[in-house]
Amino acid sequence: MDKLAWIVAEDLHRGYSVGKKRIEVLHGINLEIRRGEKVFLCGPSGAGKTTLMYILAGLEKPEQGKVWVDGVDLYAMSRKEQAATRNRRMSYIFQNYYLMPELTALENVMVPAMIGGRDLSGKARESLERVGLGNRTDHLPAELSGGEQQRVAIARALVNSPQIIFADEPTGNLDSRNGTQVMDMLMSLADEDGATLVVVTHDEALAVHGDRKLVIVDGQISAEGVIG
């Protein structure tokens, strides 16, 4: 194991039962991600990218294998410890934004802090300023464009100053121009904060933004490359 590794996965297996049929999704995945590294998980739909990300992020337990974050076995923790780790050390950005429609942009950004029992209203405003939405704090999601909603989601992901950001198809619902802007912004903000970034995408062209690309095919890493 690399001494500088921040996230380590060993022999990950995951499958699902659909009726009487068994579908194997991950087949013995091994990987290491360093602190501050930006890694893109690429591959076709159904390859297992999102399942892998969910397991690395503590959202879905593997049937076999282990995940270590900063040397700690993630799935050996109690549920309470896992929840605290996810809230304090990790954040998530999804293709569909998952903003609460009845909350303003500012209130949506504050949600992770409220879950953690902290008042970070000032930090929430700062996060919205960082993504260029300081003048949209009181707008509801329905009053924002798709690109603006995804920027609110990024601001929300930053409010707890996470050490690891997981992004699942963060530009999937955006046109190419907005998608490029959002990805450039996410990479820049992760750089500023020294955060580790793990991005799932079916669009391998986006991987040029990262440090490393892992291509997932049929539940296995079929190729790996250093960007740049």
pLDDT tens-digit map of 87-109: 889 999 998 999 999 999 999 99
Please tell me whether residue 197 adopts helix, strand or coil conformation: strand
Does any domain span residue 174?
yes
The residue count for the chain: 228
Does any domain span residue 208?
yes
What pLDDT shows up at residue 4? 62
Give mean pLDDT, residues 3-9. 80
What is the token pair recorded at 97? 């934004």
pLDDT band at 203 (very low <50, low <70, confident <90, very high): confident
**Contact assessment for residue 38 and residue 211, using Cβ atoms and an 8 Å cutoff:** yes
What pLDDT shows up at residue 35? 93
Distances (CA, A) of 149 to 90, 146, 199: 20, 5, 18
Give mean pLDDT, residues 60-64. 96
What pLDDT shows up at residue 227? 65
What pLDDT shows up at residue 228? 53
pLDDT band at 147 (very low <50, low <70, confident <90, very high): very high
* pTM of the predicted protein model: 0.92
Does any domain span residue 14?
no
Give mean pLDDT, residues 150-170. 94
What pLDDT shows up at residue 162? 92
What pLDDT shows up at residue 202? 85
Does any domain span residue 167?
yes
Average pLDDT of the residues of the chain: 91
What pLDDT shows up at residue 101? 96
What is the token pair recorded at 84? 């605290």
Please tell me whether residue 151 adopts helix, strand or coil conformation: helix
pLDDT band at 135 (very low <50, low <70, confident <90, very high): very high
Does any domain span residue 197?
yes
What pLDDT shows up at residue 140? 98
Site of tokens 């900063």: 70
Does any domain span residue 148?
yes
Q: What's the number of domains the chain is made of?
A: 1
Does any domain span residue 77?
no
Inform me whether the pLDDT recorded for 136 exceeds 80: yes
SS3 content of the chain, % helix, strand, coil (to 5): 35, 30, 35
**Contact assessment for residue 182 and residue 214, using Cβ atoms and an 8 Å cutoff:** no
CATH of the domain at 147: 3.40.50.300
Share of the chain above pLDDT 90, in %: 69
- CB within 8 A of 75, min separation 6: which ones? 58, 61, 62, 66, 67, 82
Does any domain span residue 104?
yes
Give mean pLDDT, residues 170-183. 89
- Domain of 194 in residue numbering reads as 36-58+88-226
**Contact assessment for residue 10 and residue 65, using Cβ atoms and an 8 Å cutoff:** yes
Please tell me whether residue 136 adopts helix, strand or coil conformation: coil
pLDDT band at 81 (very low <50, low <70, confident <90, very high): very high
